[in-house]
Structure 1
Amino acid sequence: MECRESFLQFLSWGLIFCALAYFVRQTKTHTPYGRYVGCDGPPGRTCPAKLAWFLQELPSFLVPVLLVLTTDSQHSLGRNLLLWTFCLHYFQRTFIYSLLNKGRPSPLYIVVSAMVFCTVNGFLQAHYLLHCATYDGAWLTDIRMGFGLLLFFVGMAINIHSDHILRNLRKPGEVVYKIPKGGMFEYVSGANFFGEIVEWVGYAIATWSISTFSFALFTLCAIGPRAYHHHRYYKERFDEYPKTRRAVIPFLL
């Protein structure tokens, strides 16, 4: 398969436009999954949480793997490292996080929308790395590569640890919401969201491309406002909520 640079540019700019539009939408209303299911009316048909997260995350892992298996081009160490870093995140989200998830059922249309996004984004990131990007040996020692990957793995660790804290907030049978404590939750209400944002900002730095920048921006615009909604929810619900805790960026926002 040849590099389709113009098509990837089109997809990337389309993702940027969608990110900004989604950000505006999220400042006005909640995306109805998780605790916000039913906040804008009956959710309609739903999908169990474990199955929902598995199905919607799977394309981001499966599409890159299929592209690797169906391409004959030679891949440099830099390309392979960056591609499998992307797949590592989605392996964890598809085969580990989804099975541990204890959340509410998701509206079916949300699951389908997420599957479409993950399919398009999985193709965008993998096709760029496999067929368009060139990372020579010098890139492996470039500060952008090293710093970007460091940010990625720090963010991934924060994301996984924060999800662990959230899963264990309630005892079996409990349905009430509690204040999350520990880890990055001491600094921000959306510690899991903060971790994922750091991940993809780091990845965008490591790959230094508009394809990954567009995805990092989409992540920020999609879950940044959600972290703010969570923060406001906690402050309204709990009088004792820590006053110094921010929404998504420690000490700032």
Structure 2
Amino acid sequence: MDSISALFSSPEEEQYVLDCMAYFMILMAACTFVCLLFVNAAYGRYSSSKYGFLINVKLAWFIQELPAFLVPVYLLVWTSSRKTSLLANQLLIAMFLCHYTQRTFIYPFLIREGKPTPFLSFFLAVIFCAYNGFMQIRYLSHYAEYPADWVTNPCFIAGSLLWLCGWLINLHSDHILRNLRGPGESGYKIPRGGMFEYVSAANYFGEITEWTGFALAGQSVHSAAFAIFTTVVLSSRAFAHHKWYLAKFEDYPKTRKALLPFVV
């Protein structure tokens, strides 16, 4: 028994708590949806000091994403991860860690310019990453049970491919955004190329696709809660970005959608 299991009277009790954490995240997604109808999430171009003192954007991104890497690593290395010998569990854990390894140790240090992050947004991101990192990996490493042939199941295959496509779209879109400005240039430009030819928020489309695929492959309330929360937050920003681009640039492509190609 590891130190975390010792906090509960039985494995069933801990799994019940993990399930409750997932349902609470869905509830928080609903509350966040309502809040974001009235305000934009305060980071990036919507950053404001009224939400607390400002933190260097590179430092903020690194620290706030770090718990989503460190908490899973702790769970995998220093607790009795009894389900990690199963291939489906290994692949789902690898998807999660692949994303957050890049997001923690590579993405922040590639940022060329960026507005500082308000403390409130930074703090909430730290809490979310720790909470979600624990919930996802504790479930996958200790409780998730899939059939022996789950990796050949159409849901797992389709979900894994969706995750991979979303991850690649997210990486490519971030690359495009980083290279919008040439040396010595400043100000905003219209992003072009890749999925930006179809949507204003190609990077968010990629990340939503990623975690939707993860949820499809994992078939758990925990992965579904993550996908729902991600969709709520990033779709709000996508529509805000789209509206901002249309107002700022007279020559902005009129056929480009906000988030879903050819749809909306």
- Give the alignment's TM-score, normalised by structure 1: 0.96
Aligned pair count reads 251
Q: Structure 1: where are the runs of 5+ without partners?
A: none
Q: Following the alignment from structure 1 to structure 2, what is the Cα–Cα distance between the partners of residues 10 and 139?
A: 25
Matched residue SS, 1:137: coil
Moved segments of 4+, more than 3 Å: 41-44
Please, which of 93, 104, 108 is the counterpart of residue 119 of structure 2? Answer: 108
1:87 Cα deviation from its structure 2 partner? 0.5
1:43 Cα deviation from its structure 2 partner? 4.8
Q: Structure 2: where are the runs of 5+ without partners?
A: 6-10
Matched residue SS, 1:7: helix
Letter in 2 for 1:68: L
User: Matches of residues 16-27 of structure 1 in structure 2 within 5 Å?
Assistant: 16-27=26-37
Please, which of 236, 240, 260 is the counterpart of residue 249 of structure 1? Answer: 260
Q: Following the alignment from structure 2 to structure 1, what is the Cα–Cα distance between the partners of residues 212 and 83?
A: 27
Q: Following the alignment from structure 1 to structure 2, what is the Cα–Cα distance between the partners of residues 195 and 123?
A: 23
User: What's the RMSD between the two structures over aligned residues?
Assistant: 1.2
Please, which of 149, 154, 161 is the counterpart of residue 160 of structure 2? Answer: 149
Aligned to 1:59: 67
Matched residue SS, 1:171: coil
* 2:116 is aligned with 1:93: no
Q: Following the alignment from structure 2 to structure 1, what is the Cα–Cα distance between the partners of residues 257 and 38?
A: 20
Q: Following the alignment from structure 2 to structure 1, what is the Cα–Cα distance between the partners of residues 71 and 42?
A: 27
Please, which of 26, 35, 46 is the counterpart of residue 36 of structure 1? Answer: 46
Matched residue SS, 1:166: helix
Aligned to 2:215: 204
Residue pair 2:69, 2:101 contacting (<8 A) in 1 also: yes
Q: Following the alignment from structure 1 to structure 2, what is the Cα–Cα distance between the partners of residues 84 and 154?
A: 15
- Give the alignment's TM-score, normalised by structure 2: 0.92
Identity, % of aligned positions: 47
1:104 Cα deviation from its structure 2 partner? 1.4
* 2:55 is aligned with 1:47: yes
Matched residue SS, 1:86: helix
